[in-house]
Structure 1
Amino acid sequence: MKAEKIDPQSLKPARLMRLLNTAGLGTVLTEHRLRRHRNRAGYSIGTDKTINLFQYAAWLTQEFFREKRAPRDYAEKKRLQTIKNNEAVRTAQDIGELPPVADPKRKAESLRSFKAFCENYFKDVFYLKWSEDHLRVIEKIERSVRHGGLFAMAMPRGSGKALALDTPLPTPNGWTTMGDIRTGEEVFDEQGNPSRVVFATDVMHGHPCFEVAFSDGEKIVCDADHLWMVHNGSGWETRTTGSLDSRFPYRLPPTFPNDNRHIESIVPVPSVPVRCIQVDSSSRLYLAGRKMVPTHNTVLCQTAVVWAALSGATPFVCLIAASAERAQNLLENIKTWLECNVPLAEDFPEVCFPVKCLERIANRQKGQKHLG
C-alpha cells in the first residue's frame, strides 16, 4: 500500500483533524474547536484554506501557558457590565462635532433683521413684495423681541393667500362666494364650527394663479401665495400653493365632512381676480369649495417665534394659541422647520443639528451631550 504524503506546513482542516484524531488519543480536535482556534489565532497558524501544524502547535503551547485570569463572581461581572452599559449610553448620547455654518454672512444678516430672516430661510412663503402693513409689523416684532414690550395687530397678508371670487364658501346661512363675503359674516372652521370673518381684502388682480384638484373631486383656484396646511409624510406644515410639489399627494387636515382628503394636482391657470379673508377660528382655517376644503392664511408670527429663539435675544419665547390642538399644530410646524428646513439647518447647526439628532424621541433630550 502506497503511503500518503503529508505536508505538515500545509494541511487542510479535514486532513488535520483526521491526522490528530487517529493518533490513538481519541477525538482531540473537533470541527467547532478548530474553527474557534482559527478565528482567534488568525493567519498566525496558516492561510484561509490550510493550517501549518508547527505554527498551530506553537500557538496552542503559548495559549496553554498564558496567565489565566481568576474567574469573576457574579457581583464583579455585574459591575463590569454596568460600566460597559453606561459607557455605551454616554457614547450614544453625545452628538459629536457640530457641522460648520454654511453661510456666516447670510446668518449674520438674518440675525440682524427679521425681514432678512424670512426672505433667506422661508423663500417659498415670503417671496412676494412686502406690504406697508407687513413692514410695520416686522419693525414692531424686532423691537419687541430685542427690547421688550407688547403690541397687537390683526393683519392678513393683502398681497396674497387669496381665492378666486367665485369660490363657494359654506356659511351658517347657506352658500356664498369669496367675492360676496363681508367682514362680520360667518363661515365654518375645519371642525364645522361657525367662525367670524374679521377682515376681507379688496379684490386683487394680476396674481399668478393655480387650480388645485383634490381627491374628492373638488377644484379650487387660488393664487400662488395662498397657504395650505398639509402633511408632508413626516409632519404637518404650512406651505404656499407655489411651493407645493404637484407630484406629491399632500394630505389635508381632517374635516367634519371628509377626514381623508389629499391634493391630486396643481396646475397653473390664467390669472383671475382673487380675494382674501381672515377668520377668528383658533386654527385660522376655514372651509372653501362645495366639498368644504380646509384652507389657511398666515405664518408670520410662527416665523417670528423661530427668529426670536434662534437669535437668542430673549431667553424664553411664548407662543399662545386659542386651543391645545391649535398650539400643538403650531409647535409641530416649528419642529418641522427645525428638522427639515435645509438653509436653516445649514446656518444654525447649533440648534437644528441637536434637534434632528433627537429623532423626535423626547427622552433623548435628558442626556444629550455635545463633546461630553
Structure 2
Amino acid sequence: MAKRKKANSKKKASDSPPEPPPTNSSYERHRERSAGRQAEQSRAGRDIGELPPIENPKRREAAGGDFKLFCQTYAPHVFCLAWADPHDQAAERGEAVVRRGGLFALAMPRGWGKTSLCMWAVLFAVLYGLRRFPVYVGAAGDEARLRLEEIKVELETNDLLLADFPEVCFPIRALEGIVQRGKGQTCQGKRTHIGWKGRRIVLPTIAGSPASGAVIESRGITGAIRGMRHTTPDGQVLRPDLAVVDDPQDDESAESPSQVAKRLRTINGSILGLAGPTRRIAAFLPCTVIQPGDLADQVLNRQLNPHWNGQRTQALSKLPSDDKLWAEYAEVRAAGYREGDDGAAGNAFYLEHREKLELGAEVVWPANVKEGDVAALQSLMNLKIDDERSFWAEQQQQPMSLEQASEDKLDADAIAAKIIGVKRDVAPNELTRLVSFIDPSSKLLWWIVCAFGDGFAGHVMAYGAWPDQGLPYFTKSDAKKTLARAKPGAGRPAQVLHALENLSEQLLAREWQNESGQPLRIEKCLVDANWGEATTLIYQFCRQSPHASILTPSHGRYLGPGDAPIGDWKKQPGDRIGHHWRERPSKNHAKRFVTYDTNRWKTAVADGLRVPRGDVGGITLYQASRERHRLVIDHLLSESPVPVESKGTQLTIWKQPPNKDNDLLDGLVGCCVGASMLGIEAVGHKPAPKKKSRRRRGVSYL
C-alpha cells in the first residue's frame, strides 16, 4: 500500500509541466554572442578595409592632362613601339572627343593599334571622371565582350593602375575573381555596389572617386542597342555618353549593300541616340576599309559623312619606284621559301640592294618592322607581294586601287560628278525624247525615266521603286512596302498586275516637262520580261494596257565573245534590227518584243557615265546631293567589268557579285536601248545597212 502511494505521488509529480527557463539564461546569451561574432566575421569578410594611398599623385595628375602620356605611362606593354604622326593625331583627336564630345572615325592599317587606342580612351574617360557610361559596340556581341574582357584584365592585373587608381582597382582585386563577392562588398562599412558581369561592369562606388559608379557595357551591332540605362544607388539614371563602335563590319557584311545600309542606320540612329533626345554623345569608330563603298569607306568619306571627321592613314604615303627590282626581290624571296630558308634569301637581297629598293618610298611608321624582316618597307612590300588586294584595302585604305587596271571601271566620284542643276522630273531643254524602263522583282517594281537627245546624250530624270519606300536608300532585301502588302490576300499574278497597272499609269499617263516648261511624254517604256512564270503575265499586260503602243516587253541576253552578235542572227519576218538589239513579233504572245545584248549595252552606259559633263554622248543625273543619289550610284557600281577575248574577238563582260542590287543599272541600260529604238544614234553608231536586192537582167539574144 505504501509503495502504491509512493508511485502515485511520483506519477503526479512527473505530470506537472516544467517551468520555463529564465530569459537571461546562459544559453540565450551564448546564442546571441555567437550570432554577433558571425555577423561581425561576415561584415569583416565583406569589408575590404581602408584603401591604399595613391602611390604617385603627380604621375596620375600629369597623365590626366595628356591622353598620349596616359597610354605611355600605364600601358607600356601595349604601346611599346615609337609612335608615328598618325598615332599622335589620333590620340589628340580622341582626347578631344572624350573631353568635348563629337564623333571621330579612324581608319588605320591592321595591327597599328587603333582598337587599343580606343580601349585606353575608354579607361582614360572613366578613371578621370570625364565620361560615366561608355558602351563598346562590335560587329558581333562576342567581339564586343572580348574588348570588355581586355578592359577587365587591365583593371584587375595592371599594377601601375592599382598604384595610382586604388579607389578603382583595389576593390576589383579584392573580388579575387569571384563575381558573387561584389553583391555584398563594403569599404569601411559602406557598400561599393561593384558589378562584374559578362557584358556590363560597374566600377566601385567610393566617396571622392572620379570614377565612382561608372559603367562600361558591351553590345553587338546586330543585337539590341536601344534603351541602355543604369540607375545608381542614389537614384541617378545614367545613359551612355561615350560609344566605341569597333570595326562594325566583317567581310560578309562589307559585301552586302543591304547590311551596310542597315548597320549605317543603326550607327547613325540607335547608337548616336543612346544619350537621349537632347544630349550629344561622344563616339569613336575605329575601322578598316574592306572594299569600295562598304561601311568604313562611307563613314570615312567627308563628302558623304562630314560629321564623322574621318581620318584615313596609309602605311605607305609613297610606293617605291623601282618595280623591276622589287619583282626580282619577290622571285628571290619565293625561291628561298621553297628551299625552306624562312625568308633568309629575301633578307639578304634586301640588304644588298636596300638603297635602290627604298628609292622613292615613304613609310609612315618606320618602327613597325615585322619579326624576321629587315625594315618596315620590306614588311609592307611582303604583304603586297603575298596578297595585293589585302594590302590595298587593309594597309592603304584604298581598295579601289586594284580596279584601276580596268578602263571600264567606274567609281562613285565619277558618277557624282555627273549631277547637274536640273531638278528631278525635268528634262534639259536639248533632250526631247523620253524613255522609261520597268524592272519587276518578287517584292518591288524598279523604274527609271530618262531623256535623250542628239549624239545619244542622256539624262536620268527620276527613278525609284513601286510601292514607294519613302526612303532615299533601301535594298530589295530590307524593303518594308512590298507588292504583297500593296494588294493583300491576292495571289502573286494579281499582285504583279496590280503593281504594273498602277506604276504604268503613274509614269505614262502624266505630262513631264523640260526646263522651259514645255510638256513632254514618255514615248517608249520597256518592261523586263525575263521573269520566269510572270513572263506571260507581262506580255499580257503590255498588250492589253491603255498604253500598249508605248509598252514593249524586253529580254536582255548575255552574249559572250563566243556568241554571235545580235546583228548576225538569222533574220525572221517582221524583224527590226538596231545597234545590238532586235525587235520581232512574239509567236506565242501576239506582241512585239525586243532582245538586246546586255554586255555591250552596259559597256555603252559605262562609257556615257565617264564622258565629262558638256561633251557629246554623256549621261547626267538630276539635281540632288550625292547622298540622295547613293541608291542609283550603288546600283550603277554593282557589277564589275572583265575584259575577255575569244577567237580574236575582244569584249567586256559584266559580273554581278552576290547580295548586290543592280536593278537601276538594268533600268538605265533598258532606257538606252529604248532611245536607240526611237532612232536616236550615238556618235559613231550607224544603223545596220540594208542589203540591196539584186535585180536580174534579162538576156537579149541578138
Q: TM-score range by the shorter chain?
A: 0.3 to 0.5
The TM-score normalised by the length of structure 1 is 0.41
- TM-score, length-normalised on structure 2? 0.22
Q: Which has the larger radius of gyration?
A: 2
